[in-house]
Amino acid sequence: MRKVFGLAAALAVLAAAAQAQVPLDPGSHAGIASILTWKAEQQATGYRTIETIFKTHTIRRGKAVHPLPVAPRQIDPTFTYDGKTWTVDQYMAAYRVSGVLVLKDGKILLEKYALGRKPTDRWTSFSVAKSVTSTLVGAAIQDGYIKDINDPVTRYIPDLKGSAYEGVSVRQMLMMSSGVKWNEDYVDPNSDVALAGGSVTEPGINPMVSYLRKLPRANPPGAIFNYNTGETDLVGVLVSKATGKTLAAYASEKLWKSYGMEQDAIWMTDSGDQERGGCCISMTLRDYGRVGQFILDGGRAGGKQVIPPWWIGQATTAQTTSNIPAGYGYFWWMRPNGAYEAVGIFGQSISTFRDDRVIVVVNSAWPAATGRELSMARAAFINAARTAAKGR
């Protein structure tokens, strides 16, 4: 089995999505698998209009909007990468970036759009959705729906009883260390990630649950990090089971309405009409920033604690370094530059520098799902934006 780590691992989200997401027109050629080969113009249009291509649920916003005031002094950083000095505009043009947003202390220091995108246009998140799902687990703990992060997953998904998930905790799922055998090889048409969740095979049971509960055990729970796309969807099912609400409804209640997102968001669903815990929320650039700011502000909204403070600390610090250089939290990546990140393929990211109170959001339509050079260029931009923001 081939293991994939860091940004490269995120590519598996799309491989699974080839089966698990549902086109509005089954006869069309706009299926999710084709996203891997969409041309630039298809990406620029499709990424901001996903709800016209796939079945989705809407995350409703509330009446109030959390302000993101524009700072009186803006930044326009330049940086050196690959022997060349880059401006923000040059970086965005060369790497097909649709939007960049830099916040410091909750104020906008930089906001730019390209690829025909406007401030009111949403953009799909790919794996950034995982970090939102993690946040909803924290909310469910705060609300008492999930009693303890060390509870067995079978308490909330009884259909997993008797499977290799017996003895696996909610925490171990969030660390991607369940120990259940999983083939994440997206070039293998017979891999788990290519086959899981494609259709309803057991009526009344979510397609991903149905598939995963048949898998054998490979390692003891908690021992080894193994990137597992299916399990992120499984955690989404867990939240829905625990709360008795759809993920979209719960995200609306705990984030979009309570914190004050500016626009409704869209969340893709699987063949069982369950939102995908691991993929594909579409939101505006500023709402990506608000997701980051909500976490940075300690999970409070409307004067109330939505997420337990201890949850924020654990989710955004390394809980495991097994096979991961900088570490992995609860569906958040740790980076050598000190940031914690929500990351999605084709260039989506929310990078937060806790001590500097700086957030850098990047939405893109990269020519490839991931790649070392693409990631290094983005890192150079993010580091330059952080440095410039620290001076404000």
| DSSP per residue, 185-244 | -TT-TTSHHHHTTSS--STTS-HHHHHHTTPPB-S-TTS-----HHHHHHHHHHHHHHHT
Local confidence band at 86 (pLDDT 50, 70, 90 cut-offs): very high
When comparing pLDDT for 275 and 19, which is higher? 275
Cα dihedral 46, 47, 49, 54, rounded to 10, equals: 80
What is the per-residue pLDDT across 212-266, written as a single tens digit (0 to 9) for each?
999 999 999 999 999 888 899 999 999 999 999 999 999 999 999 999 999 999 9
Distance CA 128, CA 350 (A): 8
- What is the pLDDT, as a whole number, of residue 4? 39
Max Cα–Cα distance, the chain, nearest Å:
60
**Radius of gyration of the chain from its Cα atoms, rounded to whole angstroms:** 19
Domain extent listing, the chain: 21-147+242-390
- What is the pLDDT, as a whole number, of residue 174? 97
Task: Give me the residues paired with residue 23 across strands.
Answer: 54
Token reading at 212: 């995963």
Element (H, E) at 99: strand 97-104
Report which residue type is found at 54: F
263: region left, alpha or beta (phi > 0 left; psi from -120 to 50 alpha): beta
Q: For residues 90-108, b (16+ Cβ closer than 10 Å) or e, as one string? A: ebbeebbbbbbbbbbebbb
Token reading at 347: 């260039």
Q: Are 136 and 117 contacting, i.e. CB atoms less than 8 angstroms apart? A: no
- Report how far apart, in Å, the C-alpha atoms of 386 and of each of 20, 94, 110, 125, 264 are: 37, 20, 11, 22, 29
Token reading at 252: 């609306």
Local confidence band at 183 (pLDDT 50, 70, 90 cut-offs): confident
Phi, psi for 226 (deg, rounded to 5): -140, 115
- What is the pLDDT, as a whole number, of residue 271? 85
Token reading at 121: 């246009």
Distance CA 103, CA 190 (A): 43
Q: For the chain, give the percent of residues with pLDDT over 70.
A: 90
Regarding the domain delimited by 21-147+242-390, which CATH topology (the fold level of the hierarchy) does it fall under?
Beta-lactamase (3.40.710)
Q: For the chain, give the percent of residues with pLDDT over 90.
A: 78
- What is the pLDDT, as a whole number, of residue 229? 82
Distance CA 92, CA 97 (A): 5
Mean pLDDT of the chain: 90
Least confident of 64-78, 92-106, 218-232, 278-292: 218-232
- What is the pLDDT, as a whole number, of residue 99? 98
Between helices 128-142 and 229-243, what is the axis angle to 10°? 30
Local confidence band at 10 (pLDDT 50, 70, 90 cut-offs): very low
- What is the pLDDT, as a whole number, of residue 322? 86
Residue 287 has pLDDT above 70, yes or no: yes
SS3 353: strand
Distance CA 240, CA 50 (A): 23
What is the residue-wise DSSP string for 129-194? Answer: HHHHHHHHHHHHHHTTSS--TTSBGGGT-GGGTTSTTTT-BHHHHHTT---B-----TT-TTSHHH
Distance CA 125, CA 28 (A): 22
What is the per-residue pLDDT across 121-168, written as a single tens digit (0 to 9) for each?
999 999 999 999 999 999 999 999 999 999 999 999 999 999 999 999
Residue 13 has pLDDT above 80, yes or no: no
- What is the pLDDT, as a whole number, of residue 35? 64
- What is the pLDDT, as a whole number, of residue 20? 55
Token pair 């803006």 is found at: 74
Task: Find the DSSP H helices in the chain.
Answer: 6-9, 11-20, 40-46, 88-94, 128-142, 170-174, 192-195, 207-212, 229-243, 247-251, 285-296, 309-315, 372-390
Local confidence band at 186 (pLDDT 50, 70, 90 cut-offs): low
- What is the pLDDT, as a whole number, of residue 18? 45
